[in-house]
Structure 1
Amino acid sequence: MICSKKSLDEEGLSPDLTSLMDIIFIVMVFLLLSANIQVQTLTVSIPKAQSSSELGSADDSALAVTVTADDERWGLQDKVFSDWDTFTAAFTVAVKHTPNRPVIIASDKQANVEKLLKLFEFMQQHQIHATHIMMKGPNQ
């Protein structure tokens, strides 16, 4: 095969940029790893309890919401819902039916925190106020 010889001007005047590119990539990786990433959070204002009160027997006038450990199931009163959309529809209907009815939230100990926060976010968007959150006391 016949090849033409490169002229000296092309070889002699072009610098080798390999090491410069290596340094640029190292600096880029360092800057990407050290950059502050904005974390999106949901602010939930939880008032401090003045006193601890025990919740006795189930109050028929209160609306009980149950957060289960199963990701797919939600509870409202004595009914179990298999998905979020049907639960929220039933929850909003129950709240609109009796708007001054107190809401009690009972969460399973093994329930995911994200699931509880999802409920809090829904309640905050629809201006539903929970009057009680059931918790296990330190002596129980």
Structure 2
Amino acid sequence: MLELPEKTTNSGLMPDLTALIDVLFILLVFLLLTAAVKLEMLDVTLPEVGNDNQAPIEQQNALVLSVNFTNQKLNYALGKVPYSSLNEVMDALRVNTNKQGVYLAIDQQVPSGDLVNLLAALSKEDHKIANILIKR
């Protein structure tokens, strides 16, 4: 019987790539987790201090919009007129044709999500906020 010569393998010359693949996988996961995510944000313009440290929007006839949180329910009032929902308040503000500044008087217990919704609705209707008062 003829004997075949043994095959010589170059397996000793090939590096072990297991550690390199592990490091590349960890880097890939890190880059995917730290990639920039688009966040939905509400643009808020803060007033600048005018001359003599006075607020830039000072109006004698500004509207006062108060928001209270009692019995797990939001209560709105525009001036002295009570409203039960944000839509009713926004409708009342639409009727008021002169774009006066709005003073917000807010109870400290008002949830932040509802406050953001109120600020977004006022911004959408182009109402300027003259001041925000928080009752403690």
TM over 0.5: yes
1:68 maps to a residue whose letter is F
RMSD: 3.9
2:25 alignment partner in structure 1: 25
Unaligned stretches of 5+ in structure 2? 1-15
Q: CA deviation at 1:75?
A: 0.9
CA 24–37 in structure 1, closer or farther in 2 if over 3 Å, else same: same
Going by fraction, where is strand more abundant, 1 or 2? Answer: 2
Specify the SS of the correspondent of 1:123: helix
Specify the SS of the correspondent of 2:113: helix
> Counterparts of 1:61 and 1:24 in 2: how far apart (Å)?
61
Q: TM-score, normalised by structure 1?
A: 0.55
Q: CA deviation at 1:106?
A: 1.0
1:79 alignment partner in structure 2: 82
Q: CA deviation at 1:122?
A: 0.9
Specify the SS of the correspondent of 1:37: coil
2:108 alignment partner in structure 1: 109
2:6 alignment partner in structure 1: none
CA 39–60 in structure 1, closer or farther in 2 if over 3 Å, else same: closer
Which of residues 89, 92, 115 is equivalent to 1:91?
Answer: 89
2:54 alignment partner in structure 1: 51
> Counterparts of 1:92 and 1:51 in 2: how far apart (Å)?
29
Q: CA deviation at 1:125?
A: 0.9
Q: CA deviation at 1:36?
A: 3.3
Larger Rg, first or second structure (1 or 2): 2
Q: CA deviation at 1:72?
A: 4.6
2:131 alignment partner in structure 1: 132
1:131 maps to a residue whose letter is A
Q: CA deviation at 1:97?
A: 2.3
CA contact (8 A) 2:102 2:129 kept: yes
Q: CA deviation at 1:123?
A: 0.8
Specify the SS of the correspondent of 1:73: strand
Unaligned stretches of 5+ in structure 1? 1-15, 53-58
Aligned length: 114
Q: What's the CA shift string for 1:64-114, capped at 9, x where partnerless? A: 231537775141234252xxxx422x1232123222255221112233333
Going by fraction, where is helix more abundant, 1 or 2? Answer: 1
Q: TM-score, normalised by structure 2?
A: 0.56
Q: CA deviation at 1:47?
A: 0.9
